[in-house]
Chain A
Amino acid sequence: MKLPNNYNSVGYRRFFSLFLVIFALFGNKFSLSAQHNEKVLSNDNETISEMVEDELHKVEHKYNAAEVIAAHISDAHDWHFLTLGHTHLTLPLPVIIYSKEKGLDMFMSNKFKAAEGTEAHGHNATLYHNGYVLYNGKIFIGESTQHIETDLKGAVTNLATVTDISITKNVASMFVGLLVLTLVFISVANAYKKTGSKIAPKGLQSFMEPLILFVRDDIAKPNLGNKADKFLPYLLTIFFFILINNILGLLPGAANVTGNIAVTFLLAFLTLIITAINGNKTYWGHIFNPPGVPKWLFPIMIPVELMGIFTKPFALMIRLFANITAGHIIMLSIIGLIFMFSNNGTEIGTGFGVSLGALPLAIFLYCLELLVVFIQAYIFTMLTALFIGQAVEDHHHPVEEASH
């Protein structure tokens, strides 16, 4: 369309951003709730009961940040994707529990219902099914008529526990990640089998090859030297497992797999096992007989060295867990600000105004989290290679030459 010659001096384009700012600042006068509007416009005819109802309406809709964040970070027996108004889009998952009293039991998680006559509300509602109680995310044996007693810390004292081996949200998400990994790597391996390694790779191969060579040349070879090939499968597995689960955790509605301390504990435990099994005489000699240390310091040095075997994987575990969980909490808090200011969707003007500031910040932090995902996978693999390298390295002359 042809713009008029003096369109700059017309002014409506220039003031568009000003109108936007005014809407953002005073927009809390516009709300989706008709009751709220009536309160603003007609204060004189308001009765006491209407005011009370209005306040109750506000309290019901109040956004509870801690609850929402806890619901997203922690594990659950079903996979809740989103809530539109009052409908929940949830994927029920199988619950598999074993107890001495009732044996092995398996059922889908949507069989868990609230006690008769009551309604389940909230994420951690107490649900019952067939003699089992789901209280605060844990399953116990109990009837809906029983009263649940907890001690000061919130642990249940009067109900029997069960061995819970269900497919929870984290396990299901891990299965999705494993499926992706299997498909990708089997297709890459088949491509290599067909064309060999002398021809330039194309397609998915050309995306995975730099990553695999990076793990081999920059992580395995400098730390493990000539024994790199023996441990390369384990290092590659760890690197890609952490990477794919971190990336999947960034998607909306995803489960927080690597931010679950049980998962990172197991990864660190595997590193500990591999280091301990492959430690040669030099390694254990250094622990029980630290070189260059006078004999009278041994009662202090040996316990310290023994503890050092455990603190290194412990640090690995905490580092990965805390980085990923902290990233998720930050993202949820910033997006949650929009919900908090707009009173859970009832005051859209304020919500829009807050989103003008919150969304760019969220995008920036998302990019930062993407960087953290790669860095954490790299650091975990590199430290694992370092520890294994320390365990299998050959005996060095006490006077060491400068490396690199």
Chain B
Amino acid sequence: MLLNNLLLDISSYGPLGAGIGAGLVAIGVGLGIGKIGAGAVESIARQPEVSGDIRTTAIILAAFIEGVALFGAVICFLAMGA
């Protein structure tokens, strides 16, 4: 009942969608980079002498995932105007 009233009161759904979208993007990035971090730290613990290689790889993969996340952020930004 309250949600119905809330949705009826809103004049444009652009900013609402953008906010929810940005939150979902943040969740996705957090999960992805968290998994990379877990794998990287575990591998360094198993074999400390390749920690330099692992660190470089982890940073590169994190940059890729962040690229995808910012795709989503840009779309949210564009959605805010509508």
Contact = CB atoms under 8 A, between A and B. Distances in A.
A379 interface: yes
Interface string A266-288: 00000000000000000000000
B31 interface: no
A322 B60 contact: no
A71 interface: no
A326 B73 contact: yes
B35 to A, nearest CB: 19
A91 interface: no
B59 A319 contact: no
A322 B74 contact: yes
B67 interface: yes
B70 A319 contact: yes
Contacts of B67: 315, 318-319, 322-323, 379
6 contacts: A153-B81, A322-B71, A322-B74, A326-B70, A379-B67, A382-B60
Contacts of B70: 318-319, 322-323, 326
Contact of A323 (B60, B66, B81): B66
Contacts of A321: 74
B63 interface: yes
Interface in A299-324: 315, 318-319, 321-323
Contacts of B66: 319, 323
Nearest to B66: A323
A393 to B, nearest CB: 20
B81 to A, nearest CB: 8
A382 B61 CA distance: 12
A41 B70 CA distance: 50
Interface in A357-382: 375-376, 379, 382
A323 B66 CA distance: 8
Contacts of A326: 70, 73
Nearest to A323: B70
Interface string A315-352: 10011011100100000000000000000000000000
Contacts of A153: 81
A58 B55 CA distance: 51
A329 to B, nearest CB: 9
Contacts of B59: 375
A27 B71 CA distance: 42
A382 B56 CA distance: 12
Interface string A222-247: 00000000000000000000000000
B11 to A, nearest CB: 14
A312 to B, nearest CB: 11
Contacts of B73: 322, 326
Interface in B14-72: 59-60, 63-64, 66-67, 70-71
A382 B60 CA distance: 10
